[in-house]
Amino acid sequence: MKVRELISILEDLNPNSEICFRPENSSYVEDFSERFRGDVEISAFWGKDYEATVIMSGGQVGSI
């Protein structure tokens, strides 16, 4: 996903809304961590390595 795709998903939401995500194959939602957000070098399994912005999971917050 590119940054502009994420922005287009979020731009119509209330800016004070809390954001959670549900990992694939899970019925539990997680929040985003304040521990680490930033650009890192990704070691690609196939192809060239690349840089990406990583947002770590902050842990489980409930179920849906």
Query: Pairing relation of β-strands 28-42 and 50-63?
Result: antiparallel
| CB neighbour list of residue 58: distance below 8 Å, 6 or more residues apart | 30, 31, 32, 33, 34, 35
Q: Which of 39, 9, 36, 4 is nearest to 21 (CA)?
A: 9
pLDDT at 34: 64
pTM of this structure: 0.47
Which sequence spans correspond to the domains of the chain? 3-63
Kindly give the parts of the chain with pLDDT less than 50: none
pLDDT at 46: 92
pLDDT at 5: 85
By residue count, the chain amounts to: 64
pLDDT at 33: 66
